[in-house]
Amino acid sequence: MTGLREVIAALFGRRRDGAAPRQHGRATAGAGSDEAGSNADGPSEPREDAGADPPEPYDKPLPDIHEQPHAEPFWAATTEERLLVQHCRDCGEFQYFPRPWCHHCASDDIEWTEAEGVGTVYSYTIVRTTVSNPEFAGDVPYVTAYVELAEGPRMLTMLTGCSPDAVERGMPVEVRFEHVTDDVALPLFEPQ
Amino acid sequence: MSFDSVGVVSVGETEKRRPETTEDRRSLEEYYTEAARLTLAETPIEVADVDGLGIIASMTDTPPIYPGMLAETLGFADLTWTAQADAGGSSALTLVRQAAMAIETGAAETVLCLGADTPIDPGDDGLFPSDPRGYAKNYLDPFGTQGPTARLAHVKTVHMDEYGTTAEQLSNVAITQREHAVANPLAYFDSPIDRAEYLDSEFIAEPVRLYDCVIPVNAGFGVLLTTADRATESADHPVHIAGIGECTNPSLGIPPDVTSTGIAPATRDAFAETDREPADADFLQLYDDYPIVVAMQLEDLGLCAKGEGGDLLASADLRYDGDRPLNTSGGQLSAGQPGMAGGFVQLVEGVRQLQGEGGDRQVPDPEWGIVTGVGGIGYAKNLRHNTVGVLGRGEDA
């Protein structure tokens, strides 16, 4: 799958400085774990020959689960298939993604709560050409969505388990956890 | 706020390049140098006269304390003011606002604002390097949402669904701006497109298409400001800054309204000290990272109701000689987006039009106009950085 630069060069053609478009290979930027047993394909279907060859390392971008100490509980919980959101005891709002304090009222009186794990699709896009994320080329077309959780916050995720053309704003979805490495599980969503 | 003690003397702009070989590339510093040369060239002001230097934070990786390194490399000495604006497409206007504040307060007298970037590197495959840290790295990229298009697409989905905005309406931005680029020798693109080509162009992140996307280029720009008196001595057509307003990280509710931007509060701020109304602007240089962003800005500038930006794009004559001249140099879509210096495309064109330097796309006798800059797409939010500038002919100050 070509990246945007190649698409532009090929489709737009002639430009003021006269040079012809050129083809060049696209290196896969790896960011991943080499843990044995990791799910190389991320959110796509499991390989039928999964038992035959050693699994490929997960080469898609991974969150740095230790970058922010305040966020470590979130990532630990996803490996246990629990979705946590922060709740502010001062103003009562929930927030996602995890922050160091309540970003609505700047209070430090925030606690982790376990979300129901359900919501509705608030917005979505169907990625049909990978630009800066060639690691996802094999998943194209795929759907990313902001899911409005029952608790209120909207979280960005990938929608799986349905055709991209079947996605609609407002459709009810529920969380599922993709264990992409031994340390990381990504909260994805699928139709309820 | 307005800047009655400040005058814009001149602007400079390099050609736009997408180098395919390392021999064909120019360095970031060479673009800064050329931008400085072009900006100072037609004026009596020299490097030694410049006592304030502002630059932008580029996509091209630079070391810490870069503004001073650049000053030292190029020979801008004895500076009483320096700054580096880091607000994406909003950087140019926010930088000029800060420069104008420096002159207005007496912190500096003659300030050169430069923006350059080299996003196209023949030795590199990616357009956007991975973030070293932050919420995008941890909560966006792992889900296949890297880069602005995949993020902005969510805003477009909502706007189209809630207001019925159509691709046909938005196509007018791409088509007209291509016409303007054809008339601009410094624009990257030099051939027109029609509606069929726009509508046939492939989806990148649906509903955003290829022809909704900017063309990344390497380039450099400059804007020279000084005191109003010195500007009158130094330029035939000095430009007056009637106001620049900013809004960063607009709140827009819990949960936030993603179809509105911080352009509305920035507009109120920019127009606070002038009797002018946005609807009377002689031109609109609106940062065009995507046509839907132009539509939302028309709404948030107050030129139409929320949700009617698409209708306005379809009904107005957006050409340089029409009733609502839009992005007369071709904008980010057709003149090019030089990385984080993109905001200078709109700003430099706004000054140029007021100085009568618009060439084959000169707006007929403009007295004043609007320039905007936007940058960064928030998490579950719309644009993070929003700036609005009101520029007028110096004689009207």
pLDDT band at A43 (very low <50, low <70, confident <90, very high): very low
B379 in reach of chain A (CB within 8 A): yes
Computed on alpha carbons and rounded to an integer, the radius of gyration of chain A in Å comes to 20
Residues 282-311 of B with CB under 8 A from A: none
Of A25, A67, A169, the CB nearest to B138: A67
Cβ–Cβ gap B140/A158 under 8 Å: no
pLDDT value at position A30? 30
Q: In this structure, are residues B394 and B240 in contact, taking their beta carbons and an 8 Å threshold?
A: yes
Rounded to a whole number, what is the distance in Å from the CA of A132 to chain B's nearest CA?
A: 6
Q: Which alpha helices (H) appear in chain B, and where do they start and end?
A: 28-41, 66-74, 91-105, 135-139, 148-163, 167-182, 195-200, 228-234, 263-270, 291-300, 309-315, 331-334, 343-354
pLDDT value at position A29? 29
Q: Could you tell me whether strands B52-56 and B81-85 are parallel, antiparallel, or unpaired per DSSP bridges?
A: parallel
B196 in reach of chain A (CB within 8 A): no
Tell me which chain B residues have a C-beta less than 8 angstroms from the C-beta of A127: 144-145, 150, 204-206
Supply the ipTM of this predicted assembly. Answer: 0.94
pLDDT value at position A44? 45
Q: Name the phi and psi angles at B53, rounded to 5.
A: -130, 125
Q: In this structure, are residues B294 and B313 in contact, taking their beta carbons and an 8 Å threshold?
A: yes
B22 in reach of chain A (CB within 8 A): no
Residues 140-169 of A with CB under 8 A from B: 142, 144, 146, 148, 152-158, 169
pLDDT value at position A13? 47
Length of chain B: 397
pLDDT value at position A55? 67
Cβ–Cβ gap B138/A186 under 8 Å: no
Region of B330 please: left (phi>0), alpha (psi -120 to 50) or beta: left
Cβ–Cβ gap A169/B191 under 8 Å: no
Amino acid, res. A42: G
Tell me which chain A residues have a C-beta less than 8 angstroms from the C-beta of B138: 63-64, 67-68, 71, 97
In total, the C-beta contacts within 8 angstroms joining chain A to chain B are 162
Please give the order of strands across the beta sheet that includes A84-88. A94-95, A84-88, A110-114
Of B128, B149, B255, the CB nearest to A154: B255
pLDDT band at A46 (very low <50, low <70, confident <90, very high): very low
Long-range contacts (CB closer than 8 Å, 24 or more residues apart) made by B158-163: B158/A122, B158/A123, B158/A169, B158/B258, B158/B259, B159/B258, B159/B259, B159/B292, B159/B295, B159/B296, B159/B307, B160/B207, B160/B292, B161/A169, B162/B259, B162/B307, B163/B259, B163/B306, B163/B307, B163/B308, B163/B310
Tell me which chain B residues have a C-beta less than 8 angstroms from the C-beta of A31: 130
B197 in reach of chain A (CB within 8 A): no
pLDDT value at position B209? 97
Q: How far apart are CA B221 and CA A50, in angstroms?
A: 55
Tell me which chain B residues have a C-beta less than 8 angstroms from the C-beta of A158: 143-144
pLDDT value at position A36? 32
SS3 per-residue string spanning B295-319: HHHHHHCCCCCCCCHHHHHHHCCCC
Q: Is the pLDDT of residue A6 over 60?
A: no
Q: How far apart are CA B369 and CA B303, in angstroms?
A: 13
Which of A132, A135, A168 is best to mutate for the B interface (most B CBs within 10 A)? A132
In our burial notation (b when 16+ CB lie closer than 10 A, e otherwise), range A127-138 reads bbbbbbbbbbee
Question: Which token pair is B3?
Answer: 């800047």
Which of B143, B151, B212, B377 is best to mutate for the A interface (most A CBs within 10 A)? B143
Residues 6+ apart with CB under 8 A from A20: none
pLDDT value at position A18? 43
Q: How far is CA A152 from the centre of its chain?
A: 19
pLDDT band at A54 (very low <50, low <70, confident <90, very high): low
pLDDT (tens digit, 9 = 90+) per residue, A72-122? 999 999 999 999 999 999 999 999 999 999 999 999 999 999 999 999 999
Q: Is the pLDDT of residue A21 over 50?
A: no
Cβ–Cβ gap A31/B130 under 8 Å: yes
Rounded to a whole number, what is the distance in Å from the CA of A32 to chain B's nearest CA?
A: 10
Listed as ranges, residues in chain B with pLDDT below 70 are 125-129, 395-397
Cβ–Cβ gap A124/B154 under 8 Å: yes
Q: Is the pLDDT of residue A181 over 70?
A: yes
Question: Which token pair is B105?
Answer: 């307060």
Q: Is the pLDDT of residue A35 over 70?
A: no
Question: Which token pair is B374?
Answer: 């936007």
pLDDT band at A134 (very low <50, low <70, confident <90, very high): confident
Q: Name the phi and psi angles at B284, rounded to 5.
A: -130, 105
